[in-house]
Amino acid sequence: MPSPILLVTSLEPAEEAAWRAALVEAMPGETLLGATESGHVESGAAPSAEIAIVANPPPGALAGLPALRWVHSLWAGVDRLVLDETLPPVPVVRLVDPALAGAMAEAVAAAVLHLHRDLPRYAEQQRQGLWRQHAVRPARERHVTLLGMGEMGSAAAKLLQAIGFTVQGWSRSGTARDGVPVLSGPESWARALACTDILVNLLPLTVETRGLLDREAFARLPRGAALVNYGRGAHVVEGDLIEALDAGVLSHAILDVFETEPLPRGHRLWSHPGVTILPHVAAPTTLASAAAIVAATVRAFRETGRVPAGIDRARGY
């Protein structure tokens, strides 16, 4: 009889129940234990659990589990998880799902095309009842920079290239993927920004990337460049963003992620004319495909006894 698996989340009960059902269906031989709202495991069998499946677990929820060997996140981004100092020093596996990368590529293409074809400007003209045409630039003359060339960034780069945009990436290592040039590290930061019309953020949130998109970064972009933030809200210094939009340094920002989510009522970003707000929908996790991926990892562990490789917790992603 395999040891039970813990499912620990801070999701609404209905959402957690849907995850539980999808996971039970994908792993029929496994016992899945839940946790109470306070994050304390509700069953006496929990001390023998070797695996925890988590989605934003409440801080401390995984502390003091003597048999825990590894943790699987149901999300691709694990920033909140790795910041929890009570998390035991076990491997953390994040969700890597081609369906998620495909959805993100779609969302990036939608945003870039929206900006490329001046749709925010035409929306404003419509509000004013103004019939005015603006020149259309060919996609190849539009330079798009993707910050982060991992699962999300490389899928997005491929699609943007297929549409015809001139694409470059920026990452820690500078590893080129699918023929997309990739700059790397702080030394090429200014160079990457200087030739960017549309900047798309797909970085993980780490100590190094928090607050990266600030006044100084915006000033390095050509005047009137646009920003798409699909990474995390804390990558952007909100006050600096608003200042850059007000001053025309940036022409528009499409924002899907925020420091506080949901974005509070009355927050000034809601009504800023230079901002498009999305409620964290760029690439939602798909229940069935994510559950199948988690189940395959669990199955491999049960068959081999080998703990799967996790993220680099010191690096933060």
Closest chain position to ligand NAP (CB): 150
Only one residue has tokens 């694990």, namely 78
Pairing mode, if any, of strands 51-55 and 143-147?
unpaired
Contact characters 254-273, ligand NAP, x per CB under 6 A: --xx----------------
* 4 vs 153 by CB, closer to ligand NAP: 153
The region that residue 43 occupies, defined by phi over 0 for left and psi between -120 and 50 for alpha, beta otherwise, is beta
Q: How many CB atoms lie within 10 A of CB 22?
A: 20
The single residue of 220, 280, 302, 313 carrying the catalytic annotation is: 280
Task: Name the one range near ligand NAP by CB under 6 A: 19-27, 56-64, 228-236, 246-254.
Answer: 228-236
Smaller CB separation from ligand NAP, 67 or 296? 296
The answer to whether residue 114 is catalytic is no
Give the C-alpha separation, 317 to 307, whole Å. Answer: 18
Establish if 202 lies at the interface with ligand NAP (CB under 6 A): yes
What residue type is assigned to position 93 of the chain? Answer: V
Indicate if 302 belongs to the active site: no
List the strands of the sheet with 32-33, edge to edge. 32-33, 5-9, 51-55, 70-73, 92-93
Binding mask 74-103 for ligand NAP (x = CB under 6 A): --xx----------------------x---
- 3-state SS class at 114: helix
| Positions that interact with ligand NAP (CB under 6 A) | 76-77, 100, 104, 148-153, 171-173, 175, 202-206, 208-209, 230-232, 256-257, 280, 282-283, 317
**Residues designated as active site:** 232, 280
